Amino acid sequence: MLPRILLVVFLLVNLFYVSGRSIHKGTNHQFDEKNKDHWSVQAQWMLHSKVTAMLNVRRAKNVILFLGDGMSITTLAATRVYLGQQYGHFGEELKLSFEVFPFTGLAKTYCVDHNVADSACSGTAYLTGVKANSGTVGLSAGVKRGDCKAQKEGLYSVTGLMDWAQTAGKKTGVVTTTRVTHATPAASYAHSADRRWEADTDLPPLSTLCEDIAMQLVRGEVGSKIDIVLGGGRRNFFPNYKTDVEGIQGYRSDGVDLIDEWINNKEKTGHKPVYIHDRQQLMNIDVKKYDSMLGLFSPDHMPYHLEAEEDDPSLSEMTQKAIQMLSRSENGFFLFVEGGRIDTAHHETKARKALDETVEFAKAVEAALRMVDTEETLVVVTSDHSHTMTYSGYSKRGSDILGLSNKMNASDHLPFTTLSYANGPGYKAEINNMRHNPILDDLNNVDYTYPSLVPTVRETHGGEDVAVFAKGPWSHLFTGNYEQNYLPHAIAYAACIGPGLTSCKL
């Protein structure tokens, strides 16, 4: 029998997962991996934790669904190394905050009409429980992309977790680092035949009778009832003859100021709303004074963490403030949190930014875990789709994950980067039948575009499954391999919300 003290020792050394406070800079906590006992203790501890784990079958009062947009399993593996190497570790041996969750699974991400998903059809799947066509939000696959008439008919509209939670009397919130009208957050409240219809100006001439996504956030049956909305995309909410606090011109053509309308609507329904636009306002909010909050911190997507300024709140800060306000609800809450700029960095083949955004996402998960009781709060972490980034080359442990493979050159006798993409803007044409030599590049540049095999303006998504991590009530429901649209049904079961089978209706 493994001595209990060894289990405790391994527990301590195994808890160096992602966060500034859990990995201490300047110290090296590498294990003695050449000692066979290291691996035996590690495996025995994992086995012990599995066989002694008790299943939590309590009703989930609260639910937090974290979504790392474009957070492929390859991204997770590379991020561990990226983070660990910043604190004197090799990195591969570490775990991100949510990778220590007791239950994991794999979700299949394809759309009804495409084998590789976009953020709209996938968002519809994991937020409403219905798979959809690519480019459509909150609509079943009976609607083709761009079909305004079908959108207006309402016959194909689908709602999910946000609506179900509101119907059950729970407070709700959306937090994202993208525009709050972007495809992923939009899937929680809107019905749009085209994800690009974020403001009325985006609507084509024959589709002007369809409500844009920003309008649905303020006037929609589900959107208007969301208590907290934090993210970017300010331009989509005010007229083009006005400018915001940054001097940026509005994007709406209909003359409507949806920010003022949001405040007025909340006040008319007895709420105490507040609108904010920078980090200082967010951090100084008295959560006891207000019960509704709209925070639009950027005209477009929020800046990458590596480029953020003092006025830009982090994903962790937005998540913490949202939980503080939502936690005042006696009936519990549902919060959707998206780390959206992992995806945009991958589209640009800017791997450094993608990994850094994944670190920030993991920090937000850890921040939330410090604030909630997972005996009554279900926390699910997943992704909407993959990307084409690969991690290869047989490099030695400790090699810079963002650098060159140091074990071998390619058959053309030129080096290659450990991370690369199947397609994207990082493609560099051959000169004299010779591949571009990456030694000539500045790999330390935050905007370096990593090599791509096929030239495309934007790198595409990948079609493989994505990981799902769960902790809290009924988290064991998230093991195995399943369709992506299973996720909201399992969440609803745990929280006793929605029209389907729940743990309260056994």
Residues annotated as catalytic (active site), given as ranges = 119
163 annotated binding-site participant? no
3-state secondary structure labels for all residues of 77-92? HHHHHHHHHCCCCCCC
- The CA distance from 457 to 424, in Å, is 6
What is the distance between the alpha carbons of residues 320 and 434, in angstroms, rounded to a whole number?
51
User: Is 338 labelled as part of a ligand binding site?
Assistant: yes
CA distance 435 to 413: 10
Sheet holding 389-391, edge to edge: 389-391, 419-424, 452-455
C-alpha 364/C-alpha 42 separation (Å) is 27
Please give the Cα distance from 349 to 447 (Å, whole number): 9
Q: How far is residue 377 from each of residues 61, 224, 380, measured CA to CA in Å? A: 6, 25, 10
Give the C-alpha distances (Å, rounded to integers) separating 269 from 30, 225, 272, 287, 377.
Answer: 57, 10, 9, 19, 28
Is 69 part of any known ligand binding site? yes
Reduce the DSSP state of residue 222 to 3 states and report it: coil
114 annotated as a binding-site residue = no
- 325-to-67, 234, 347 alpha-carbon distances in Å: 20, 22, 34
**What is the number of residues in the chain?**
506
Structure tokens at 321: 């403030």
Sign of the Cα pseudo-torsion (468, 473, 479, 484, in order): negative
Lookup: tokens for 101: 């969750």
User: 205 and 199 in contact (C-beta within 8 Å)?
Assistant: no
For residue 109, which of 101, 121, 99, 100 has the smallest C-alpha distance? Answer: 121
**Helical packing angle, 351-369 and 315-326, nearest 10°:** 30
480: part of which helix (H) or strand (E)? strand 480-483
What span, in angstroms and rounded, lies between the C-alpha atoms of 201 and 254? 8
**Is 220 in a helix, a strand, or coil?**
coil
In DSSP terms, 322 is beta-bridged to none
User: Is 476 a known ligand-binding residue?
Assistant: no
What does the block give as tokens for 236?
């989509």
Binding-site residue set for Zn(2+):
69, 343, 347, 384-385, 461
Binding-site residue set for Mg(2+):
69, 182, 184, 338
Binding-site residue set:
69, 182, 184, 338, 343, 347, 384-385, 461
